[in-house]
Structures are given as structure tokens and as C-alpha cells.
A and B are shown apart, each in its own frame.
Chain A
Amino acid sequence: NAGVTQTPKFRVLKTGQSMTLLCAQDMNHEYMYWYRQDPGMGLRLIHYSVGEGTTAKGEVPDGYNVSRLKKQNFLLGLESAAPSQTSVYFCASSLPRTSGDEQYFGPGTRLTVT
């Protein structure tokens, strides 16, 4: 049981390049999330999904796209990378219950855009 995994772990892009970050979970969770973490700003939600085939915008969605074609995978795409997208990206998943939304996080992807 690997939990939540993310690939790649590190990446350096030039401005204007594109890439896709992959998140996979093996816990059969319905909900999946993409966050970015920047110094002093905590976690900010980029996009999320409440089930296979559905996605929704979070707090900071501009410049990103997502897809959830399979329940276990959640992809985050950057079509034209910008230096402002330099950050650490975390994927998370959850199985929301009546007792709240406990999230399980991946190890993160450190992205640098030059």
C-alpha cells in the first residue's frame, strides 16, 4: 500500500515549456487535490476532484489544468510555465466522511521555472 505517490520529484522548466505532474493513490479515495506550497503562504488549493471524471477550481487555478480520467489518478498540467509557478506541489486524497475531510498527502514535486 503505497498511499499517495507523485512523479516526478523534481523538475526544472524553462519559461513557456509545458509539463504534467502525475498523482496516484491506491486507497480508493473519492476526492483528490492539488496544492502549491510557497514560503509563508501555507498550502493553496489549485484544483480538486470529487470523483472520476469531475474537476473543479480551487483558490489559485490560473495557469493550470487538471484531469481525472481514472479514480486513482489526478494529473496537473502546466501549458506554458512561468517563473511564478516555481513552487512545491502536493497532491492529496481523501475519503470524506461525516467526521470531516482527513487528507493524505504525497511527498511533493519541487518545480523550478527559469
Chain B
Amino acid sequence: EIVLTQSPVTLSLSPGERATLSCRASQSVYRYLAWYQQKPGQAPRLIISGASNRATGIPARFSGSGSGTDFTLTISSLEPEDFAVYYCQQRGNWPHTFGQGTKLEIK
């Protein structure tokens, strides 16, 4: 199965700063990668699909890039509501595995 490794495990930033989250796959997943945001006590929410397509209702400050094995989620200017855990998921091969998550916390 494809292993996704997210880095960093924890990212400490302040509102207004730029966040860059990484997801690396153990083999190519082409552009079949999604990103999710999860806040405590809530179900995950789809942020990005197809590596770079924002989901419905997701603000433009969220962007995704990458292909093959290396992917990035960028939040251009952090808002207070963006502090959460972010997961990547590959959808190129069964099983559709998740990364272990990056916790974005307020500095």
C-alpha cells in the first residue's frame, strides 16, 4: 500500500503568516491527492481535491500543488479558524490511504 508521510508533524505559526504543509507519497499517485481539515470534535472537511482544486466554499487563501510523489498545501495568510489538523489522502491506488496529519497550531 502507498504510504503518505506528512511534514512537519506540528507547525506553529501566527495569524497572518503563510503556512506550507508537505505530503510525500511512497510511489506516484499522479495528481490523485486530496487534503482535509479537521477541527476537534468535528468530522474532516475536504479542502483540496485533484492536488490543486479547491472544494466548494473553500477560501482562495488555500491552495494545493504537486504531482507524482510530492505535494504541498499552502495557506497564504492564516486566519484564526485555520488552526486545525490537516490530512492528505491519496486516491490513486487502493487502499486510499491517509497521511498521519500535520497539526497547525497558534504560536
Same complex:
no
> Which residues from chain A sit less than 8 Å from chain B, CB to CB?
none
